[in-house]
Structure 1
Amino acid sequence: MSLYEIHNMAVAIVGKRLVEDVSLTVEPGQCTALIGASGSGKSLTCLTPFGLTPGAASGAMVLDGIDLGTADAAQIRDARRRLTGFIFQQPLTALTPHLTVGAQLQEAAMQAGGARPSRLELARKLQRVGLSRADERLDQFPHRLSGGERQRVMIAAAIAHGPKLLVADEPTSALDASLRAEIMALLDELRVEQGLGLLLVSHDLASVEGHADQLVVMENGYVVESGRASTVIAHPQQEYTRRLIAATPRLDESSPRLSQPGDPLLETIGVGVEFGRPGWHRGNIRAVVDASIILRQSESLALVGGSGSGKSTLGRAIAGIGPVTEGEILWQGTTLPERRKRSLDMRRLIQPVFQDPVASLDPQWLVEDIVTEPLRNLRPDLTKAERNELARQALSDVDLAEDFLTRVPASLSGGQAQRVAIARAIIAAPQLLVLDEATSALDPLVGAEILKLLARLQADNALSLLFITHDIAAARRLCHRIAVMEEGRIVETGDLQAVIDHPRHPATQKLIAAS
């Protein structure tokens, strides 16, 4: 008998069936991965049997001999407490903000009725998941840790009580490529070492390839294909699976056809950015140090680096929505002043698009108000009718119908929200878009569509793109050149394909290996 078995499971919320006829197994020491686009029912399938969603599950769901489908709430809580560990997508929101790492780890270790662990035992648990200075970390709060460090703390807490099944719901989607590879390697080690069964949810096929033993592909609440992971990836039988594989960026794809760059448009010369240290600490943090790049007309430049490398800080400085401590930014050879001193026309030239498409839109505004906001600020000469006409054209440019103007952000999917954000950015006819991780929060199918949209908009409007990302494979589909950042410094620049073929700096080599 398998460690965990699901047979013909369905999930309903308020009487509406959202998952239907799902079957899968998880064996000790092996990984079963649930793959699919956003909204396909992956998380409902994994979390509902344990009482962690508003849904009600029916069918056979047997964990280590316990049928969760017929168990009462107390029995489900007991199975969740003793037998199961959970790793969630956003570690900062999943960890308790006012408790230290040590307190949370101690609580997790005792949840199955075990004895109170010593401080040394807790430090060893953190060391096992690859955290340096483990004893010091026990006294830190979650907000003091990086994203990768918080995810390691969550993994340590998930396995602290010795579970048999580990349920990981998008455990790496919020991390950069290097950290994704490290976390997946850690999960591999733990399941082999401790005999854990791993049920892994992901929309990123690239992150589970080479790690999963079994692959279950879901679409619209149904399983469309399943089998050994290597077989499904090498010989997909269903069109949906083939689309998922094709949408996942890879470095060995054929080279894309890109527009021909023109004259230099934007140049940064020795730009530096400093911030004061938080709390009671003295001194400044040098987030960007001596950064110099050149971006030409109709060119796409990938600004690539791991989390905390300074790429978003540099992008915000270029867009005029972040400070510049030293150096200068030139626009066609003329120095750009800080944003509050720029003319309306200067502000129009550079427009940003942010990582989280839903969070970047005002939830109380209609799409019409969101898209026309730049015109109200930058083109006060236009009438409301003229602004609305430009909004309809902007939505058409990003392949959205006119009726989206009367919708609110909460009614939009992630891909639709990002298209609205792009429409807002292009409505003022800018010459440069600063795209800060504009596809990293999206599933591969939607992300591939957004990359195609950006390529078309660039070709149609002679746009220049500063594409900030941690994913070199995604950048390769859109960008001519690359600048790699590490610890606030640009450590390597050049033609994107040439850098991929012959990376010189260790940071670049690490990012390429992770991609």
Structure 2
Amino acid sequence: MRWIPRTGEAKIMTETDTNPVLTISGLTVDFDTPTGPVHAVRGVDINVRAGETVAIVGESGSGKSQTMMAAMGLLASNGRTSGEVTYQDRNILGMSVRELNQVRGKKITMIFQEPMTSLDPLYTIGRQLAEPMVVHGGLSWKAAQAKALELLALVNIPEPERKIKAYPYELSGGQRQRVMIAMALANDPDVLIADEPTTALDVTTQAQILELLADLQKRLGMAVIFITHDLGIVRKIADRVYVMKDGEVVETGETRPIFETPAHPYTRMLLDAEPTGSKAVVDPKAPILLEAQKIQVAFALDAGFLTPSHVLKAVDDVSFSLRRGQTLGIVGESGSGKSTLGRAVLNLLPASGRVVFNGELISGKNRASMRALRRNMQLVFQDPFGSLSPRLTVGQIISEGLLVHEPSLSARERDERACQALEEVALDPVMRNRYPHEFSGGQRQRIAIARTMVLKPDLVVLDEPTSALDRTIQKQIVDLLRDLQTAHGLTYLFISHDLAVVRAIADTVMVMQRGKVVEAGQTEDIFEAPQSAYTRELIGAALLTQSHLAEG
């Protein structure tokens, strides 16, 4: 087991470190499907040297993740590969599972986008950290547990002695991602593959994870392959970039020239995909559609046997008003209370305070009383795949609300309304007979928006509707939401940790931290002259300050 440097110490590099530690040559990946083969990766060449960070960028479906999944031998059963993946002068692509397990999880490791689905909910963090060291490193369970504790401290997990006994659900998203990084480092790898490891994290946690990875790379001298669609991250961390489109590398080179003088139109399109512009100004005399006064949401947390429970104030004395046609952006870190607030104003969970919608007090109304109002108060979720029933066709999903709120419509009329809703979100109505799994992430989010728009609501609460999407798709969704708002006079409550998206869509912004509002005001005032230190931290972490833009 190799020595792990202390903070501030770096591994000494040798001449051999200038040679590629991992080389991918002529890699192809094909998937057999009922409708014929799908060519996911087409003759890709990639290499990375020790201590170097290489970024692979591209939209969803570009083949970037499948390239590295193939290199790790982790393709689905219907996948086929050819080419070479060379590590230590051996082609690992043709290795048996037994041989490959001596490399992957030990010398080449991988961390994934969503740690909650990668960590086993039935085992403690300590057990899951120790297992790869026992299986791949040959340590005893006792020695592996001791090393696991060191790793938790290495990745800056607070109270590692307590967290090592915790289960995944007891940790925050950022802490779970740190655990995944610790697990990847357990056997001192030469290559770390990070597949969208920060996409689901808020901006401050994202910045912390990136800083941690950079620090660990410097100290351990490992190569990092960073797969992402976020070019802001790439500009900050990568030495070299590979741009992929339709399974092929269309451009490669050092990071700075790629960003300053991209040679391929696709690279330029990715660079220009940041959500931009702003929405039309709302008449300051427009009637108030939604008013929330002193909203509080509290949860009783059981601390354990013989230990008194305590109360968590998820939303603490929050007030705001929203005029017709206006968009209020609510931003903050994970756990700030922004999503809980959105559900509270829709009367989807118990809360104290007053909520007045369209002149009617809705606080305390029961489910039956709220039913008539639901068509005018709609919700769009972060994960469209999770919110769309896999058993229903797209047409059935979109028209389902009409069965409840307009039962007098005939089946033909419901189908016509579903077609109109699909056309409004720029999808072909012919697609209404397909199922959600047959669509891309961006298309599924359009379907979720169409399901909302078919009821012609007054208020739409959008809870992180773009965070899981590529920048190019994000821009399209933002443009779509602005167009729909203009066409139908919609009012949005837009919840997000992505400040670039909020800046492009919101009239006003409310910044939340630990359940409280720390700052609120007009969007440009918040971004150009933030008054709160916390707001300045959020903007700085999101790489949106003017100094960063100037550096670009």
* Native 8 Å contact 1:213 1:228 kept in 2: yes
Written as runs of structure 1 = structure 2, the 5 A alignment for 1:237-316 is 237-249=263-275, 255-261=277-283, 262-277=286-301, 280=304, 282-316=309-343
Residue in structure 2 matched with residue 27 of structure 1 by the alignment: 49
User: Could you tell me how far apart the structure 2 residues matched to 1:473 and 1:123 are?
Assistant: 38
* Native 8 Å contact 1:30 1:192 kept in 2: no
User: Could you tell me how far apart the structure 2 residues matched to 1:204 and 1:194 are?
Assistant: 25
Q: Which runs of 5+ in 1 are unaligned?
A: none
Q: Residue 291 of structure 2 aligns to which amino acid in structure 1?
A: E
Written as runs of structure 1 = structure 2, the 5 A alignment for 1:396-415 is 396-415=423-442
Q: Assess, with a 3 A threshold, how the Cα gap between structure 1 residues 231 and 111 changes in structure 2: closer, same or farther.
A: farther
User: Could you tell me how far apart the structure 2 residues matched to 1:149 and 1:384 are?
Assistant: 49
| 2:39 corresponds to which of 13, 17, 30 | 17
Residue in structure 2 matched with residue 181 of structure 1 by the alignment: 207
- Report how far residue 384 of structure 1 moved: 2.6
Residue in structure 2 matched with residue 365 of structure 1 by the alignment: 392
User: Could you tell me how far apart the structure 2 residues matched to 1:421 and 1:145 are?
Assistant: 30
- Report how far residue 332 of structure 1 moved: 3.6
User: Could you tell me how far apart the structure 1 residues matched to 2:472 and 2:63 are?
Assistant: 16
User: Could you tell me how far apart the structure 1 residues matched to 2:451 and 2:181 are?
Assistant: 39
- Report how far residue 109 of structure 1 moved: 2.8
Q: Residue 82 of structure 2 aligns to which amino acid in structure 1?
A: S
Q: Residue 24 of structure 2 aligns to which amino acid in structure 1?
A: I
Residue in structure 1 matched with residue 485 of structure 2 by the alignment: 458
* Native 8 Å contact 1:101 1:140 kept in 2: yes
Q: TM-score under structure 1 normalisation?
A: 0.95
- Report how far residue 343 of structure 1 moved: 5.1
| 1:75 corresponds to which of 80, 99, 103 | 99
Q: Does 1:199 align with 2:217?
A: no
User: Could you tell me how far apart the structure 1 residues matched to 2:131 and 2:316 are?
Assistant: 42
User: Could you tell me how far apart the structure 2 residues matched to 1:278 and 1:401 are?
Assistant: 50
Q: Does 1:374 align with 2:392?
A: no
- Report how far residue 478 of structure 1 moved: 0.8
Written as runs of structure 1 = structure 2, the 5 A alignment for 1:327-476 is 327-337=353-363, 338=365, 340-342=367-369, 344-476=371-503
* Native 8 Å contact 1:367 1:405 kept in 2: yes
- Report how far residue 74 of structure 1 moved: 2.7
User: Could you tell me how far apart the structure 2 residues matched to 1:333 and 1:457 are?
Assistant: 24
User: Could you tell me how far apart the structure 2 residues matched to 1:121 and 1:64 are?
Assistant: 26
* Native 8 Å contact 2:105 2:132 kept in 1: no
- Report how far residue 32 of structure 1 moved: 0.6
Q: Residue 397 of structure 1 aligns to which amino acid in structure 2?
A: E
* Native 8 Å contact 1:339 1:347 kept in 2: no
Residue in structure 2 matched with residue 39 of structure 1 by the alignment: 61
Find the residue that maps to 1:247 and give its secondary structure. coil
| 2:524 corresponds to which of 482, 497, 504 | 497
- Report how far residue 208 of structure 1 moved: 2.3
Q: Assess, with a 3 A threshold, how the Cα gap between structure 1 residues 343 and 76 changes in structure 2: closer, same or farther.
A: closer
- Report how far residue 513 of structure 1 moved: 0.9
Q: Residue 431 of structure 2 aligns to which amino acid in structure 1?
A: F
* Deviation string, structure 1 residues 325-362 (Cα, Å, up to 9, x no partner): x1011124431243515355422221100000111111
* Native 8 Å contact 1:6 1:24 kept in 2: yes
User: Could you tell me how far apart the structure 1 residues matched to 2:23 and 2:69 are?
Assistant: 14
| 1:56 corresponds to which of 73, 80, 100 | 80
Q: Residue 130 of structure 1 aligns to which amino acid in structure 2?
A: N
| 1:154 corresponds to which of 180, 186, 210 | 180
Q: Residue 183 of structure 1 aligns to which amino acid in structure 2?
A: I
User: Could you tell me how far apart the structure 2 residues matched to 1:424 and 1:24 are?
Assistant: 42
* Deviation string, structure 1 residues 448-501 (Cα, Å, up to 9, x no partner): 111100000001111111110001111111111100111111111001111111
* Deviation string, structure 1 residues 305-339 (Cα, Å, up to 9, x no partner): 11111111111122232322x10111244312435
* Native 8 Å contact 2:25 2:83 kept in 1: yes
* Native 8 Å contact 2:242 2:251 kept in 1: yes
Q: Which runs of 5+ in 2 are unaligned?
A: 1-18, 543-552
* Native 8 Å contact 1:84 1:165 kept in 2: yes
User: Could you tell me how far apart the structure 1 residues matched to 2:457 and 2:270 are?
Assistant: 33
- Report how far residue 390 of structure 1 moved: 1.7
Q: Assess, with a 3 A threshold, how the Cα gap between structure 1 residues 339 and 439 changes in structure 2: closer, same or farther.
A: farther
Written as runs of structure 1 = structure 2, the 5 A alignment for 1:122-141 is 122-141=148-167
User: Could you tell me how far apart the structure 2 residues matched to 1:330 and 1:436 are?
Assistant: 20
* Native 8 Å contact 1:259 1:459 kept in 2: no
Q: Residue 31 of structure 1 aligns to which amino acid in structure 2?
A: T
Q: Does 1:227 align with 2:253?
A: yes
- Report how far residue 156 of structure 1 moved: 0.5
User: Could you tell me how far apart the structure 1 residues matched to 2:383 and 2:183 are?
Assistant: 27
User: Could you tell me how far apart the structure 2 residues matched to 1:462 and 1:315 are?
Assistant: 20
User: Could you tell me how far apart the structure 1 residues matched to 2:532 and 2:254 are?
Assistant: 37
User: Could you tell me how far apart the structure 2 residues matched to 1:224 and 1:506 are?
Assistant: 42
Find the residue that maps to 2:184 and give its secondary structure. helix
| 1:97 corresponds to which of 121, 128, 138 | 121
* Deviation string, structure 1 residues 93-143 (Cα, Å, up to 9, x no partner): 111221111111122333433433265543221111111101100110111
User: Could you tell me how far apart the structure 2 residues matched to 1:434 and 1:85 are?
Assistant: 39
Cα root mean square deviation, aligned? 1.8
Q: Residue 308 of structure 1 aligns to which amino acid in structure 2?
A: G
User: Could you tell me how far apart the structure 2 residues matched to 1:282 and 1:421 are?
Assistant: 39
Q: Does 1:109 align with 2:136?
A: no
Q: TM-score under structure 2 normalisation?
A: 0.89
Worse overlay, 503-512 or 271-280: 271-280
- Report how far residue 285 of structure 1 moved: 2.3
Q: Residue 423 of structure 1 aligns to which amino acid in structure 2?
A: A
Worse overlay, 407-416 or 133-142: 407-416
Worse overlay, 433-442 or 403-412: 403-412
